[in-house]
Structure formats: C-alpha cells, structure tokens
Amino acid sequence: MSDMNTPIVVVAYNRPRSLTRLLGSLSNARYPNKEIDLIISIDKANDNQKVLGIANAYEWDHGIKKVIYQEENLGLRKHILKCGNLSLEYGSVIILEDDLFVSPNFYFFVDQALKFSKNETKIGGISLYNHQLNVHTRDNFLPIQDGFDNWYFQFASSWGQAWSREQWSGFIKWYENDPDIDHNNNVPAYVRSWSAKSWLKYNIAYLVERDFYFLYPKIALSTNFSDAGTHVGNDSTIYQVPLDEGFQKEYQFSTVDQSK
C-alpha cells in the first residue's frame, strides 16, 4: 500500500434517493484527516440529471471530491472493475454501491484492516458488511465469538468492500485471463448461476481457486438497503443489519489460522 489515504469510491447509476442516503452517512462518519478523496462514479443512463445534480452539489469536507460520469453505459460488472482498478493508482480503494449506508466508524475499520492484511497472504479483500443470513439458505447466521473483531469467509463482499493494490491486482490479473468458472464445481452452483452481469461471482471463484478469504467484521460497518434498481425488482429490508455505532477503537484481528 502507498502512503496515500484510501479513497472512497461511490458507485452510482440512477437511484437519487439511494445516493442521497449514502452521502448523508458519509458526512456523519469519522475520518483521520482531511486528505481523503471521494470519487462519485456515475454510470451513463438516459435520465441521470437528478443523480448528477446530487453528486455535484454534495459538499465533501475531508479531501478532494471528484465526480466521474461514464461516457458509455458500462453495466455493473464493468463499472465495479473500473472502480476497483483505482486501487492500482491509489494503493487501495473502498467501494460503496449507492444503496448502502455506512457506520460512523467504517473508515477506521477499513484503514486498520488493510494495514493488518498487508502481510497476510490469504486475505483477498476486506468486507464492511457482516452477514446475518446464511447466503446459501437464508437461515439465520452468526459467526463464533472467538475474542476477535473479525471472521473469514471464502466469499467476496459486494455490500461495502475494500482492496489493497496487491489484493486487487492478483484478482484482476486472474480475471483478465478469462477464467471458465461455469465448470468449476468448487464454486457453489448457485454462484455460478448468477447472471453474466455479475462481477462478484468472479471474485468468489478467484478466492476459491486460490484458497483466499475475505476478512469480515463481527459487527457490520455497512448495511444494504436493497433498493429497487436494475438488479433488484423491489425494495427489501432482508439484508439490513445492525451497524457498529460505538466509540472509535483499535480492532483486534485474527489471522486466518487463528480464526475459529
């Protein structure tokens, strides 16, 4: 990782209500200094004037704000991959889709987790979200309390995530070789069945193939509103989770081998 602060990249399309809510939570969060870039990347749509207006009017007090309007419609997969590539320039990146909401402590968690993961070769990325449902069955799920603030999952996160340059470059080099994941039986069948628009299924397949893990928090630093949009038919509360609203602290991270 470079000495630059990790930028926050908001991935938006055509949901003005969602973008307003996420930006409000970013305003209420805590940051270590005023040298943090905020990049709002908006995918091209037929009617994006509201979203563009919200992004341009938003006042960011913690560094430089950049609004990027994509010249062509990328779709979610290409859009996320393009934003992830910013980690190669900055040394790391935080990606937030527009229907998320962050904890006041999200930046400190990511900052500490990225520094911790620097020498941990089995960590393929950092999640801000924490699952409370089994992603396969939707049964209730809680990680074991083992004295640490994190747990590990061989499943990439799309509801608030961060990558270091090294974590991202490993994945993107693998991805650019056009891997055939449809016939990899080690990847769950339901993940392989996701649409071709999914970037996430590729990141999950990469973790499985390399035996890497995402570091997840025990208490979430982001929550998902599942607002209606291109990939979600109706608003849903099923994936909303409680957020870490406590005091800023030093997080205690386990290695993959230490984690129970």
Return phi, psi of residue 124, to 5°.
Answer: -100, -5
Q: Does pLDDT of 1 surpass 60?
A: no
pLDDT digits (tens, 9 = 90+) for 91-143: 999 999 999 999 999 999 999 999 999 999 999 999 999 999 998 888 999 99
Q: How far apart are CA 21 and CA 143, in angstroms?
A: 29
Q: Using 50, 70 and 90 to split pLDDT, how confident is the model at 245?
A: very high
* Mean per-residue pLDDT over the chain, rounded: 94
Structure tokens at 209: 């193939």
Task: Give mean pLDDT, residues 241-247.
Answer: 93
Say if residues 221 and 110 touch (Cβ distance below 8 Å). yes
| Strand order across the 213-217 sheet | 65-69, 38-42, 8-12, 92-97, 161-164, 123-127, 213-217, 150-153
Q: pLDDT per residue over 2-46, tens digit each?
A: 468 999 999 999 999 999 999 999 999 999 999 999 999 999 999
Hunting for tokens 């990511």 — which residue is that?
110
For 226, residues 6+ apart whose C-beta sits below 8 A from its C-beta are 99, 232, 235, 236, 237, 238, 239
Question: What digits encode the pLDDT tens for the residues 136-164?
Answer: 888 999 999 999 999 999 999 999 999 99
Torsion of CA 244, 41, 35, 169, to 10 degrees: 80
Q: 248 falls in which pLDDT band (50, 70, 90)? A: confident
Per-residue DSSP letter, 255: P
